Amino acid sequence: MTRDEIRRRLAELAETKYAQFIRKLTPGCESLQYGVRVPALRKLAKDILNSDWQEIMTPLADDSYEEKFLRALIIPQIKCSLDDRLTLLEEFVPQIDNWAVCDTVCSMLKIKDDRFRLFLDEYINSEKEFERRFGLVSLMYNFLDDDYMADTLAVYSESSSDQYYVQMGVAWAVSEAFAKNRGMTIDFLQNNNLDKKTQNKAIQKIRESLRVSAEDKEYVLKFKK
pLDDT tens digits, residue range 11-23? 999 999 999 999 9
What is the per-residue DSSP string for 71-106? HHHHGGGS---HHHHHHHHHHHGGG--SHHHHHHHH
Average pLDDT on 125-138 reads 98
**Do 86 and 135 reside in the same domain of the chain?**
no
Domain boundary among 61, 94, 109: 109
Average pLDDT along the chain:
96
- Do 95 and 5 fall within a single domain? yes
Residues 103 and 131 in one domain: no
pLDDT at 151: 97
Residue type, 138: S
Let me know whether 7 and 93 are in one domain. Answer: yes
Given 61, 88, 109, which residue is the final one in a domain?
109
Q: Which residue range forms the structural domain that includes residue 42? A: 1-109
Give the pLDDT of residue 70: 98
100 & 134 share domain: no
**Tally of domains within the chain:** 2
Predicted pLDDT at 29: 84
pLDDT tens for 25-79 read 998 788 889 999 999 999 999 999 999 899 999 999 899 999 999 999 999 999 9
- Residues 104, 150 within the same domain: no
Are 120 and 103 in a shared domain?
Answer: no
CATH number, domain at 140?
A: 1.25.40.290
47 with 122, same domain: the answer is no
- pLDDT over 90 at 103, yes or no: yes
Average pLDDT over residues 92-121: 97
> What does the pLDDT look like over 165-215, one tens digit per residue?
999 999 999 999 999 999 999 999 999 999 999 999 999 999 999 999 999
| Whole-angstrom distance, CA of residue 70 vs CA of residue 38 | 10
How confident is the model at residue 28, as a pLDDT?
A: 79
pLDDT, residue 30, reads: 80
Residues 148 and 211 in one domain: yes
Of 109, 142, 176, the one marking the end of a domain is 109
**Under a CB-based contact definition with an 8 Å cutoff, are residues 76 and 110 in contact?**
yes
Residues 127 and 145 grouped into a single domain? yes
> How much is the pLDDT for 27?
87
Distance (Å, rounded) from C-alpha 134 to C-alpha 131?
5
Q: Give me the pLDDT at residue 24, please.
A: 92
In terms of Cα–Cα distance, which of 127, 192, 196 is closest to 163?
Answer: 127
123/219 same-domain check: yes
Judgement on whether residues 203 and 120 belong to the same structural domain of the protein: yes
